[in-house]
Amino acid sequence: MGTVLTFGTFDVFHVGHLRILERAAALGDRLIVGVSSDDLNISKKGRAPVFPQGERLQLVAALRCVDAVFLEESLQLKRHYLSEYDADLLAMGDDWRGRFDEFADICKVVYFERTPAISTTALIEKIRL
C-alpha cells in the first residue's frame, strides 16, 4: 500500500480535517502530513493562522492515524517533499482538484470530497461574530 502524503494548514482543527486524514491514512501503510508554515499560510490566504505552526504540528502529530509530520514551507517544494518522503500517493481535498496532477509521474494523486458545510474560514467568522 505504501506511503501517503498530504498537506494542509490544519488551523482551528475540526472534524473535516480529521476525516480527510483518516481517509488518507486508510489508503496506505503510513501517513505523512505536511503542515503549512505560518508564512506559507499568510502568502496563500492573506492572514496568519489562529494557532501558530508549532501548535498545529503538535496537534496533527498526536493523531493516531498520522505517522509523521513536517513543516511545509513552500508550495513550490511539493515535488521535493513527495520525493524526500518517498510518497506512493498524494491525497488532497477536492478544492485542489487538478492542481497537483503534474505529480502523477512520481506518485498516484487522489482528491477527496470535502466534508460539507465545514470550513476553517467559516468557523473563524462564526467565532468572530
DSSP strands (E only) in the chain: 3-8, 30-36, 68-72, 89-93, 108-112
pTM for the model stands at: 0.88
Q: Which CATH number fits domain 3-128: 1.10.565.10, 3.40.50.10780, 3.40.50.10140, 3.40.50.620?
A: 3.40.50.620
Q: What is the mean pLDDT of residues 85-103?
A: 93
Q: Grade residue 114 by pLDDT with cuts at 50, 70 and 90.
A: confident
Q: Up-side HSE of residue 63: CA atoms within 13 Å toward CB? A: 24
Q: Looking at residue 115, what is its pLDDT?
A: 65
What residue segments make up the domains of the chain, in order of their start? 3-128
Question: Is the pLDDT score of 126 beyond 90?
Answer: no
pLDDT of 18-69, one tens digit each?
Answer: 999 999 999 999 999 999 999 999 998 898 999 999 999 999 999 999 999 9
Determine the average pLDDT of the residues in 2-29: 93
